[in-house]
Structures are given as C-alpha cells and as structure tokens.
C-alpha cells in the first residue's frame, strides 16, 4: 500500500489519482488509434470527447458514492463537493461518463456503433490500469481468505476493518488482470473475427459484467446492500450486452477491413483537397 507517491509542498500526489490519469490518457490513445484504423470518424475529436467524458466520470463516481452513503453526508451536504477527501464509486463514473460521451456523439452526429466499438477496448484497458491505483490506495479490498491472501499495513482501510493481522483476497489485482485480459481478448476478436458494428461493444459489456459479478462476491462491501446494487448493475450490463449482440447481428453491417478504411480515408482526403483547391481558384477570380 502506497497511497501518496510524493508531495509538492503540502499538496499530496496520490498514487490512485495518478493511475486514474494514466488509465484515462492511455484509454484515449487507444480510442484515437482504433478510430483512425477501424472507422471513418474524425479521430481528432477524441480530445473534445475526452473533456466531456472526464467531467461525467468525476461527477458520476462522486455522486453515486454520496447517494450510497448519504447518512455520512446528511448533516453536512456540502462535503459531497469535496472530492479531495476521497470517496467514489466506479459504476457511477462509468455510467455518467458514458452518458456525457453519448450526448457528445449525438450532438456531433457521429456514428454510434463504430464509436462504441472503438471505446470498448479503451475502457477495458483503463480498468486494468486504474485498478492498480486501487491496490496502492488500499481501497476496494477483498474478504478474508486463507488462500492467495494478502495483508495491508496497519492504518489501512482493510486493517481498520479486519485488524492488523488479516489475510484477504487481492480483488483490486483480480479486476486489474481481468480488465487487461478483456482488452487483449477484444483486440484479438477485432483482428481475427468478422463482427458487425456494435458487436465488439456488446462483447465488452458481457465480459465486463461477468468480471464484476464474479469479483464482487470476493470484495468487501459496507453496507451489504452495496454488494447487491453492484451485482444488479453487473447483471444488467451482461444481459444488455447479450441482447445487443444478437440485435446487431440482424441489423448492422460488418465492420470494414483495415485496408478498406485506409483506402477510403485516402480517397476522402484527396476529394477534400481537390475541393479546397477549386474553392481557392474560384476565390482568385
């Protein structure tokens, strides 16, 4: 456990925040790469998309935490705005970040399913990187076990819950490994399997929902109702992914090959350049 990496004056640089930032940056780089290689979407829009998504993530993760622990904030509701004290729920950030991103895609009139297919591996890899930050922070820890258990130091969240002498599941590392594995699977499926638009995202929902549903049984939750809220959300994600996979099989066209995308991008660029030359030539007259 190493929650604070270093300090700049009195301002602590938290390991958890650093890994979240790393996860976000790497995820956006993956998204940009996939948009360029596998879609005709203007991949330069990723910067604008990232701005709105990160706002949704920050607000959503904090909002769901406050709602689930309202008794801690009822007497001082303005504490909910103090995100520096810690306290966030991943699902809240995932869902509201997704909503903000969806609104951006809708306003820009971007193709929804190609965007979702490109976003899916980015989210999976972001989960894999971000959960390493959870491990260093000591949050999202597991239940007691005598098999494959770890011990967090005195003063940690786990030690406050179980005592200084304990052995618990390293659920943060399970989720991290699961996210990285899901990323690899999605990339391999995209590379070697013929899919229809939207199906890669549906496979992400199925895999992510299953991962969270399994790991949640090994995680410690307080109160116990938090477990079932998370399990319901995981189940909904899994079922939504399964339904979406079969719906897109009937309604969507196949994802274009990389070579076709590259050729089409070149054709569109040449057409745009030709149009621009004509425009300049006309303006000189």
Which tens digits make up the pLDDT trace of 189-245? 999 999 999 999 999 999 999 999 999 999 998 776 678 888 998 999 999 999 999
Only one residue has tokens 């991008």, namely 265
Only one residue has tokens 């054709």, namely 267
List pLDDT tens digits, range 171-191.
Answer: 999 999 999 999 999 999 999
Only one residue has tokens 């940690």, namely 156
The CA distance from 154 to 78, in Å, is 31
Q: What is the DSSP string of 139-150?
A: -S-B-B-SSS-B
The CA distance from 23 to 25, in Å, is 6
Q: Which 8-state DSSP code applies to residue 256?
A: P
**pLDDT at position 162 over 90:** yes
* Burial (Cβ within 10 Å: 0-12, 13-18, ≥19) of residue 71: exposed
Q: Are the CB atoms for 35 and 121 separated by under 8 Å?
A: no
**pLDDT at position 258 over 70:** yes
Lowest mean pLDDT across 67-81, 151-165, 215-229 = 67-81
Torsion sign (Cα): 49, 179, 211, 89: negative
pTM above 0.85, yes or no: yes
């Amino acid at each position: 456990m190493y929650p604070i990496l270093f300090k700049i004056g009195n301002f602590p640089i938290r390991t958890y925040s650093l890994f979240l930032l790393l996860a976000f940056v790497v995820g956006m780089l993956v998204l940009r790469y996939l948009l360029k290689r596998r879609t005709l979407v203007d991949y330069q829009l990723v910067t604008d998309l990232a701005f709105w998504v990160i706002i949704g993530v920050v607000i959503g993760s904090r909002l769901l935490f406050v709602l689930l622990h309202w008794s801690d904030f009822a007497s001082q509701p303005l504490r909910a705005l103090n995100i520096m004290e810690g306290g966030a729920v991943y699902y809240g950030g995932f869902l509201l970040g997704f909503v903000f991103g969806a609104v951006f895609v809708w306003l820009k009139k971007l193709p929804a399913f190609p965007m979702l297919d490109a976003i899916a591996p980015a989210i999976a890899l972001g989960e894999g990187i971000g959960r390493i930050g959870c491990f260093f922070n000591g949050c999202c820890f597991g239940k007691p076990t005598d098999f494959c258990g770890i011990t967090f130091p005195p003063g940690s969240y786990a030690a406050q819950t179980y005592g200084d002498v304990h052995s618990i599941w390293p659920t943060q590392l399970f989720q991290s490994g699961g996210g990285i594995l899901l990323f690899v699977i999605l990339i391999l499926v995209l590379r070697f399997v013929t899919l229809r638009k939207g199906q890669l995202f549906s496979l992400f929902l199925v895999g992510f929902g299953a991962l969270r549903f399994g790991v949640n049984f090994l995680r410690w939750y307080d109160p116990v109702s938090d477990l079932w809220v998370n399990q319901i959300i995981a189940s909904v994600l899994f079922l939504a992914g399964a339904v979406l996979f079969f719906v897109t099989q009937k309604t969507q066209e196949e994802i274009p090959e990389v070579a076709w995308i590259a050729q089409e991008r070149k054709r569109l660029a040449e057409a745009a350049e030709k149009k621009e030359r004509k425009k300049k030539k006309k303006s000189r007259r």
